[in-house]
Amino acid sequence: MKQKLGLIVVLAGISSLVCAQQTNKPNTGREDNSSFTFSESQLNEDDDVNQSISALVSSDNDVYLSTAGYSFSPMRFRVRAYDSQYNDMYINGVHFNNVETGRFSYGVIGGLNDATRNKDGVSSFAPSRFGYNSFGGSTNIITRASQYAAGSKVSLSGCNRNYILRGMFTHSTGLMKNGWAFTGSLSYRWAKEGNIEGTFYNSLGYFLAAEKVFNDRHSLSITTWGNPTERGQQTASTQEVYDLVGSNYYNANWGYQDGKKRNARVVRSFEPTAVLTWLFNINKDTKLQTSFGARYSNYGTSALGWYNNVPDPRPDYWKKLPSYYTDARDKEIATDLWEHNKEFRQLDWDMFYNVNRQQNRFNDMASYIVEERHNDQLVFTLNSVINHTFNKHTSLTGGLELGSTKGMHYNKIKDMLGADIFYNIDKFSARDYGMNSDIAQNDLDNRNAMLKKGDKFGYNYNLFVNKGNVWAQGVTSHSHWDIQYGAKIGATQFWREGLMRNGRAANSSKGNSDKKIFMDYAGKFGVTYKVTGNHILSLNTAFENRAPLAYNSFVAPRMKNMYVSDLQSEKIVGGDLNYVFNFPRVHGRITGYYTRFFDQTELESFYDDDTHRYSYLSMKGINKEHWGVELGLTVNIVSSLNLTGVATYSDARYMNNPDATLTYENETEVTTGEKVYCDGFRVNSTPLSVYSLALDYSIKGWFFNLNGNYYDRTYLDFSTIRRLSRVVGGPGVDLGGNESVKADPQQKLKGGFMMDASIGRYLRFKNGTSLSLNLSVNNILNNTNLRTGGYEQNRIDGLKYASKYYYAQGINAFLNIGYRF
């Protein structure tokens, strides 16, 4: 990584070889702040926390969407409760959603706020200029160098969030007379310890863009960026633990090693990306933009691994909590230790070393290691889009997308913690069948391989995904009527390649699986009726047939090539009805929407503590229904004072009891024929009801904002195994003859109120430079009891294994100083 950094420094230097000046567009303080908040507190950087952001936030002109994306981020609000795989993210026209998970990882552009500010957002049913968008809408980040205003900008920020300091420097030449434009940006984000104890943050970002405008018709641009990052994570805990410690922000991931804090769950990522774009203005009415993107991503998350029947090292393991003990004296001792002994309630790294050294003396295998689970990728994507305006009424956009991804998944030894010996065996199978049994071998072709730091172990497989589609969408406008229409057709192919011959699946783990191909197609149609220019009604409908995600398509992807049986494409239908109004002092939108998902496939993997096995639970044929009402309006009280009201009441729930397949890592057999009884359960970890009021005031370069949000009807992620047929007893029939089961209901989290305020100042100096200052304070009332989500432990006994929760951060502030010159 150091070598790469050296290269980056050089590249960064080159970027500013050519410089020029251009005038700045004035910014509003609000927009500035929005972007800061956007990328930091809200972006999904933790894979273990649900994706939270909607791509729609960049729709600046829509009050509802911009507020939802900006103010509701601490509660991880998702627009219409959609999973973020339905939001498409493009960078310079290249589609950058991860094809394995469907989601866009915002960490990829983390810290590069100034460089990635230029966005083009399109809501669900609107015709986009860069791609066929799915139900969640889409966003294109424009990074062509000629599109940046010339000049330099330095931003310095301080806050008490994941990191505490950030510095950014961006320089753009603008389009120079010689037809070249360059933009470079560097950023650094840092925290020795973030707001959560034991976390840290260390992230460098670089960004380089060059564009050559050859003539009126052709331009070529290249952009490359990356952000090597290392950061410590937090984990959710049970309420018992939070209460004992006296804080809802307790983090079990860290402990003392030789007197210093060390976090066991560290994300190390570096995902260098490059995009090459050719713009071709064929004629006045026809434009062609072709982009080719490549990304290599190295993404590892570390965790503790333990072997040899040693006790679970996690401090908040249920057997270490007072509630585990039955004897009053033991409870008292455990409570006292939890409340007053900080070392006791964190990891004991020194002990891990001592135990491993003991193992060394007996020539035995390590008892504790730190492993790093990798989800690496090599991605190539080509997007080509042509826009043609036929006449003043009709324009059409067509496109082609081709993508190929190799996802590389493996586990690697990050730290042996002083141990000398480590074998590539599965500890659960070794427990049942012995160290030397075939079934315990993770790689039969390298039996009992003795491994060292940096070696791959456990699992090692690639997922290949090839995708291609063509699409077109158009708009026909008349004075009172607009019609939008679009269609897409394509295909997705994927397969798995196993690189280890797993002892639990000797004949189906190594080599290539079958290749599956699924057709992708979609269509949409919308009508807009413009009563007047200030009163617009629109009705949109769409359907989509979507290939299942490669990530969800294997019953036990770490182990073998076996697909979920009867794998199906997911079907989605939906629509919305909008009324956009614009009175002299009030403007806004009211919308009702309905979306139905059919035949979704989901996979969960977890350690089943009841049977002491690593397990996979695959669900298929999941049907869901999302509906709701959205309201966003701005009242202009006096010229510089606005009141904004935003509200949504929505629902998003499972509509059936999907079929389930349970697979145990340490066994060769698969259990099928069961269902997960979750009919009526809600989509989790996003508030389904939100009501918000905001006041904005600006005067003479000052900006003030005060906003209050009330969140309700957030549901906890439910344990699937706890609702499995075998647990709920299968269907019975009640007196009315209806199927009835005794599945535990899903937990609804308590609603709550949060208030934020910000103050900003924008100063423009005579020499053309400008300074912006912004201080925002979130959760001013310091509400530390607002759960953003969490999950039930995937175990049958919900009393013994209590649910774990995440809390919205208490009062926190963000100060930003930007200087443009």
Partner 1 sequence: MRKLKNIFLLALLAAISFTACVDDAGIPGEYVPEYNGEANLTIKDLKEKYATVISNNSLEEITDDYVIKGFVTGNDISGNIYKTLFIQDETGGLNIAIDADGLNASYCLGQEVFVRLKGLYIGGYGSSAQLGYTYNKVDTTNNTTKVQIGRMSKFMWQDHAFKNGLAMPSTVPAPIIINNESEIKNSYDGMLVTVKGVSFNMAGFLTMAEDKNIGAGTDSRQLIIDGGDLTLRTSRYATGIATLILPEGKGDITGILTSYRGEWQLTVREASDFQGYNFQSQISPHYILETFSSELGVFKSVSDLVGATGRLSWTIDFNSAMIKGYVDGKNVDAITYLVSSSLDLSAGTPTYITFDHAINYADSKTLRQNHQLLISKDYNGNVNEAHWTALDTYMPSGSSFVFVNSGRVIVPQEFLGQKNVTVALKQVSTTTKGSTWEVRNFVVAPGQGEVIKDPTNPDGAIFYESFANGFGNFTTQDITGGAYWQEDTERGFVKISGNGRGVNEDWLISPKLDLSKYQNVQLHFMQAINFALTEAARKSQCKLMISTNYNSGKPETATWTEATIPTYPTSDSWNFIGSGTIDLPSVNNVHFAFKYNCPDTNAAYWEIKDVIVK
Binding site for partner 1 (CB under 8 A): 2, 5-6, 8-9, 12-13, 15-17, 19, 152, 167, 169, 171, 184, 186-188, 190, 192, 200, 202-204, 206, 228, 230, 232, 257-258, 260-263, 266, 308-312, 319, 325, 327, 329-330, 333-334, 349-351, 353-355, 357-358, 361-362, 367, 418, 430-435, 437, 611-612
* Min CB(38)–partner 1 separation in Å: 22
Crossing angle, helix 63-70 and helix 29-37, to 10 degrees?
50
Widest distance between CA atoms in the chain: 86
* Min CB(424)–partner 1 separation in Å: 16
Nearer to partner 1, 650 or 666 (CB): 666
Task: State the Cα–Cα distance between residues 594 and 544, nearest whole angstrom.
Answer: 14
Identify residue 140 by its one-letter amino acid code.
N
**Angle at 772 (CA atoms; ends 768, 775), nearest 5 degrees:** 175
If one counts every other C-beta atom within 10 angstroms of the C-beta of residue 388, the result is 16
Task: State the Cα–Cα distance between residues 723 and 713, nearest whole angstrom.
Answer: 21
Could you say which DSSP state residue 117 is in? -
Task: State the Cα–Cα distance between residues 781 and 791, nearest whole angstrom.
Answer: 26
Nearer to partner 1, 356 or 462 (CB): 356
* Min CB(368)–partner 1 separation in Å: 9
Task: State the Cα–Cα distance between residues 296 and 273, nearest whole angstrom.
Answer: 7
Radius of gyration of the chain (CA): 27
* Min CB(339)–partner 1 separation in Å: 15
Nearer to partner 1, 325 or 485 (CB): 325
* Min CB(6)–partner 1 separation in Å: 7
Could you say which DSSP state residue 330 is in? H
Nearer to partner 1, 441 or 552 (CB): 441
* Min CB(428)–partner 1 separation in Å: 10
* Min CB(677)–partner 1 separation in Å: 23
Task: State the Cα–Cα distance between residues 125 and 84, nearest whole angstrom.
Answer: 16
Nearer to partner 1, 777 or 817 (CB): 817
Contact between 650 and 627 (Cβ < 8 Å) = yes
* Min CB(726)–partner 1 separation in Å: 12
Tokens at 373, concatenated: 């689970």
The span from the first CA to the last CA of the chain, in angstroms, equals 33
Task: State the Cα–Cα distance between residues 599 and 625, nearest whole angstrom.
Answer: 12
Identify residue 462 by its one-letter amino acid code.
N
Task: State the Cα–Cα distance between residues 778 and 809, nearest whole angstrom.
Answer: 9
Tokens at 608, concatenated: 């089943």
Contact between 591 and 634 (Cβ < 8 Å) = no
Nearer to partner 1, 132 or 254 (CB): 254
**Angle at 29 (CA atoms; ends 24, 32), nearest 5 degrees:** 75
Nearer to partner 1, 285 or 332 (CB): 332
Task: State the Cα–Cα distance between residues 631 and 365, nearest whole angstrom.
Answer: 61
Nearer to partner 1, 158 or 167 (CB): 167
* Min CB(157)–partner 1 separation in Å: 15
* Min CB(781)–partner 1 separation in Å: 33
* Min CB(326)–partner 1 separation in Å: 9
If one counts every other C-beta atom within 10 angstroms of the C-beta of residue 452, the result is 11
Nearer to partner 1, 200 or 597 (CB): 200
Nearer to partner 1, 19 or 489 (CB): 19
* Min CB(735)–partner 1 separation in Å: 33
Identify residue 279 by its one-letter amino acid code.
L
* Min CB(693)–partner 1 separation in Å: 41
Nearer to partner 1, 152 or 783 (CB): 152
Task: State the Cα–Cα distance between residues 446 and 503, nearest whole angstrom.
Answer: 11
Nearer to partner 1, 425 or 549 (CB): 425
Nearer to partner 1, 542 or 662 (CB): 662
Name which of 554, 571, 555 is nearest 519 in CA terms: 571
Name which of 368, 398, 403, 397 is nearest 382 in CA terms: 403
Nearer to partner 1, 258 or 514 (CB): 258
* Min CB(253)–partner 1 separation in Å: 13
Task: State the Cα–Cα distance between residues 213 and 236, nearest whole angstrom.
Answer: 51
Contact between 702 and 89 (Cβ < 8 Å) = no
If one counts every other C-beta atom within 10 angstroms of the C-beta of residue 392, the result is 8
Task: State the Cα–Cα distance between residues 150 and 113, nearest whole angstrom.
Answer: 17
